[in-house]
Structure 1
Amino acid sequence: MDAQHGIHRRRRSAGRSVLLALGLGAGISAACATSDQVLEAQKELEIVEQKKRAPAECKPGIEEPCYSGPENTAGRGLCVEGIRRCGEDARWGACKGEVLPTREVCDGKDNDCDGIVDNGFERHGALCWRGQGACRSQGTWRCAADGSKSECDAPIIKPTAEICDGVDNDCDGTPDDGDVQGTGEACSTGKAGVCNAGTKKCVGGSIRCVQNVAPSVEICNNLDDDCDNTVDEDCISAEEAAEQLKKK
């Protein structure tokens, strides 16, 4: 029993020495030092001793540029080198002040340091257009406030009622289409016979009276079918007229 107690005392004494060597033994008696505390202290002491045995990395007090980012990114875009200082233990300290690549956002800067500003977004300041027809407007590409996208700052122009002017006023892609103001009403073409009746239509950007029917063979129907200002001259029957049309 005395021999075993002696072994335990020697282990506790060795553990106490390790704890004191690391400055961790204040207030911890040899009897109170647990085996986990002793093992942990031994590991830390071994690390300290290894550093002492390792060759010096640098001369204490000197400084040099440093950079931990990807190759060929330092000095491009926002990326810059930092400075590291050699400590009293002749080991390099942390690199301070370096700026590393980040995710590219739309802000007029090269965030990912690949040499291209705002790559993946529309070029800042380039011309852009919005809408169609009379609603088409010009602007330039700008970065959104949160940098997530590029936006065209062209003003928004609202569509208006379609009029006969050769312009796509309602901005649907077709000029002078649909129910154009001032069209659809009956009108007189000024021509003779059946060619006199017309309808107001938008033609070439202006409202014109377009005749409803074209001149045809004169039929005996009390109408001036051929629009020569004479009714039923040398007229034929409707049946004969139909036969003539079949032969054409």
Structure 2
Amino acid sequence: GVCASGKVVCNGSKNNVTCSTISKKSSEICDVKDNDCDGKTDENYLYKGLAMGIKCDGVGACGSGFVECTPGKTSEATCSTNANGSKSQSQKEICDNKDNDCDGGLDEGCNDDGDLYCDKNMSTSGKPKICSKGG
């Protein structure tokens, strides 16, 4: 961890030894480092109960990936294939009864006004189509 580069030295009261870099110890954050110098990396951060590096299933149509720290954030973990993951499989949402953009919602924007026609800015594919009266 961040303390690994230290040397064994006498402590201030000269009755024990300690690591010279122990003062670098800090609270664990999700950054692929052992910040709290306990020999474990990012152990407090889980994705759906899964630890770092374990195989995970992404949200919606996003496929299998691995648990990782969410890129750009130090306080959460994600599946690498999620929309916020390093290998995102997120795509533009289309009206196909799938969560293409991997955000947990199906076919957002397809029929926002409730008239059963697909909203004109959305494309449709697959079966069943959510918008029963077409595009």
| Band the TM-score falls in, shorter-chain normalisation | 0.3 to 0.5
- TM-score of the superposed pair, with normalisation by structure 1: 0.28
Greater fraction helix? 1
- TM-score between the two structures when normalised by the length of structure 2: 0.45
Task: Report the structure number with the largest CA radius of gyration.
Answer: 1
Considering Cα pairs closer than 8 Å and 6+ residues apart, tell me whether 1 or 2 has the greater RCO. Answer: 2
